[in-house]
Amino acid sequence: MDTREDADTGDVGSWRHYGPSALPKPLEAALEAFAERGYDGTSIRELAARAGLSVPGLYHHYPSKQALLVSLTTTVMHDLLDRSRRALAEAGPTPIERFDAVVESLLRFHMFRRNQAFVASTEMRSMEPEARRAFVALRDEQQRMIDEIVEEGVATGAFVTPYPKDASRAVTTMCVAVASWYRLDGPLSPDELVERYLLIARSTVGARAD
């Protein structure tokens, strides 16, 4: 596992690497404003000002506030999915190695992308129906990644739980919740948190200690 410094910066290009987020300026502005005041509490005028654009300039790139929300949350979910897929591609073949890889990816994302996670989950209410369906499909895809590993682990006897799907969802939610309480300048380094949570998450799915 990386040292604390490596975990904060990581090897550029690795799924573990989190630099400053590289969102286009209007999406960065939308992220900050929606996190602070919510979608309905934010005006296009405010978003344009934050992005350093005129209102028509902003509309030139994004035709509506809804388009900004959709573009932001889609980008965020694709980033998480892409990192999780890469973590899985690098992982060893056993269910526990695969489980650890996806759980670590979820954890790091929710430590380093707290605002993104907050806005994506709180502003599902503000997505128009089609956008919401597309967002939920991406979220389900991330969940299925863990579901399949847990089910495979139960089938091979690596995990023991009568409720693989529920346990798998419980693991996802405890990782997602890290965004709500974890602070990078707090007492736990990202690597320490990953170490503790891998152990706790394995317990949750009844991973056998062998």
Residue ranges binding its own copies (CB under 8 A): 35-42, 118, 121-122, 125, 161-163, 166-167, 169-170, 173-174, 176-177, 180-181, 196-197, 199-201, 203-206
CB of 173 to its own copies, least distance (A): 3
Supply the minimum distance, in Å, between the C-beta of residue 65 and its own copies: 12
Provide, rounded to whole angstroms, the least separation between the CB of residue 122 and its own copies.
5
Give whole-number Cα distances, 12 to 84, 94, 194, 208, in Å: 16, 27, 19, 34
Q: How far is the CB of 167 from its own copies (least distance, A)?
A: 5
Number of helices and strands in the chain (H, E): 11, 0
Nearer to its own copies, 82 or 166 (CB): 166
Q: Which C-beta is closer to its own copies: that of 7 or that of 150?
A: 150
* ∠ CA 153-154-160, rounded to 5°: 115
Nearest alpha carbon to residue 73 among 37, 125, 111: 125
Integer Cα distance of 174 and 78 in angstroms: 20
**24 vs 124, beta carbon nearer its own copies:** 124
